[in-house]
């Protein structure tokens, strides 16, 4: 029963073809043929059919290279570099922008990634021991194991400890940074089911939606929606229709926007979950079933709804934060990989959004078409941008200034 609770199994720049072509590829952390409960192999799978398409890494078998980033930290005595997936993995996330599979090792909370662009197994350690408090050998207590991970709509990676007292956020650029945002907070109407409870809410996996929310699926089938800014976890309900012995350890979104879950402990195949009803149905497959402690791909929940909202603007941008006043750019400060520009009562036509430094030197621009009285356009930062103050300038087709606003990038 220990492993039942221990394990886990944007808008993401949908306009960029380089991102979209990797979005539906799904990766799984699976057990081994001679040890089903050592989840340390990495495979590319088809969650619509249950087929294993490719084995990328077999623990203790596949040759590999591993490097450390400048802030990776010291290696623990027990872990070392003997095995990139350590003593098992229960949390992974696909970074479609850089074509990397991030993951966290159990027992040590080391964050690493596999470079999917390389023909061989090339790993990088981003940071070791991201949660302090291990034993002399570096082993963490069960509550601090990282069992949920995802790359969210803001471009950041998020990882969560078993007890939900450590919500970690990490960047995915050249100089990665990892920060502990703190504990999740139970919403008042969670019906007595706490995100911190071991029996109901540990383990499982995490996906993200296109509106910036994190979605946690616990090993015991409970689903929570998490607001990153407030760190509030709201219970959505419990998945129904799963076999009694099926722990929900892995989760990913299929190309139709449905949630697909896997189990680490049984060979029952994959199940598709309707997020409106939380009813699960088995994915029909003629392939041999595999167990998986985690699933990951680049798809987001509610992507179609977000795309329709942006395209047709049926309502006055339902996701608009309160308290903006006369601001035209949000969020501000910017802590992620994108910001939004509000066009209100501007004449229809093409506009150029220019990002400059305070001296007025432009280093990024994009053209958008405005056709509605109220329209919100997302702008993704082209690359790693230094922290500081910048200007967002919006120019009309005649290159006249429509409006400008100072922003801060963290």
pLDDT at 244 over 70: yes
Percent of the chain predicted with pLDDT > 70: 84
Give the pLDDT score at 18. 34
- Domain 315-409 listed as CATH 2.60.40.10: yes
Query: φ, ψ for residue 201 (rounded to 5)?
Result: -135, 0
Q: How many Cβ atoms sit within 10 Å of the Cβ of residue 319?
A: 15
CATH topology of 2-306 equal to that of 315-409? no
Q: Where are the domains positioned within the chain?
A: 2-306, 315-409
What is the third-level CATH fold of 2-306? Neuraminidase (2.120.10)
Give the pLDDT score at 208. 95
| CA distances, 343 to each of 192, 317, 334, 371 (Å) | 43, 11, 19, 10
Strand partners for 368: 351
pLDDT band at 317 (very low <50, low <70, confident <90, very high): very low
Give the pLDDT score at 216. 98
Burial of 203 (0-12, 13-18, 19+ CB in 10 A): buried
Which of 29-33, 34-38, 354-358 comes out lowest in average pLDDT?
A: 34-38
Residues 6+ apart with CB under 8 A from 100: 94, 113, 114, 115, 116, 172
Average pLDDT, the chain: 85
Higher pLDDT pick, 145 / 322: 145
Higher pLDDT pick, 75 / 198: 198
Tell me the helices (H) and strands (E) count for the chain, helix number first.
4, 29
pLDDT band at 309 (very low <50, low <70, confident <90, very high): low
pLDDT band at 314 (very low <50, low <70, confident <90, very high): very low
Higher pLDDT pick, 270 / 60: 270
pLDDT at 112 over 80: yes
pLDDT at 79 over 60: no
pLDDT band at 83 (very low <50, low <70, confident <90, very high): confident
Higher pLDDT pick, 134 / 252: 252
Percent of the chain predicted with pLDDT > 90: 55
């Amino acid at each position: 029963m220990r492993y039942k609770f221990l394990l886990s199994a944007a808008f993401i720049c949908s306009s960029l073809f380089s991102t979209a072509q990797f979005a539906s590829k799904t990766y799984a952390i699976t057990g081994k043929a001679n040890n089903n409960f050592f989840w340390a192999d990495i495979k590319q799978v088809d969650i619509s059919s249950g087929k294993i398409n490719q084995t990328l890494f077999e623990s203790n078998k596949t040759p590999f290279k591993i490097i450390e980033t400048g802030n990776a930290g010291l290696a623990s005595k027990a872990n070392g570099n003997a095995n990139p997936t350590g003593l098992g993995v229960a949390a992974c996330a696909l970074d479609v922008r850089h074509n990397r599979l991030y993951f966290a090792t159990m027992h040590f909370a080391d964050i690493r990634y596999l470079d999917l662009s390389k023909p061989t197994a090339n790993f990088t350690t981003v940071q070791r021991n991201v949660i302090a408090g291990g034993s002399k050998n570096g082993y963490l207590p069960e509550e601090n194991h990282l069992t949920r991970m995802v790359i969210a709509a803001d471009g950041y990676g998020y990882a969560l400890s078993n007890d939900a007292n450590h919500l970690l956020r990490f960047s995915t650029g050249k100089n990665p940074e990892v920060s502990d945002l703190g504990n999740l907070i139970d919403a008042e109407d969670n019906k007595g089911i706490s995100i911190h409870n071991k029996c109901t809410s540990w383990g499982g996996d995490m996906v993200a939606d296109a509106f910036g929310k994190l979605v946690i699926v616990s090993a015991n089938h409970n689903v929570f929606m998490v607001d990153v800014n407030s760190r509030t976890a709201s219970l959505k309900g419990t998945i129904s229709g799963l076999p009694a012995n099926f722990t929900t350890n892995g989760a990913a979104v299929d190309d139709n926007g449905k949630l697909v879950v896997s189990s680490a402990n049984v060979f029952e195949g994959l199940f598709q979950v309707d997020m409106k009803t939380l009813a699960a149905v088995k994915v029909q497959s003629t392939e041999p079933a595999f167990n998986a402690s985690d699933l990951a791909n680049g798809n987001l929940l509610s992507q179609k709804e977000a795309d329709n909202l942006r395209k047709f603007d049926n309502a006055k941008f339902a996701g608009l934060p309160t308290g903006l006043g006369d601001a035209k750019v949000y969020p501000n400060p910017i802590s992620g990989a994108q910001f939004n520009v509000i066009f209100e009562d501007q004449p229809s036509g093409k506009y150029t959004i220019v990002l400059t430094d305070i001296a007025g030197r432009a280093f990024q621009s994009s053209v958008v078409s405005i056709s509605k009285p109220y329209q919100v356009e997302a702008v993704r930062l082209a690359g790693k941008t230094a922290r500081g103050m910048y200007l967002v300038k919006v120019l009309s087709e005649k290159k006249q200034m429509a409006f400008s606003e100072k922003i801060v990038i963290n």
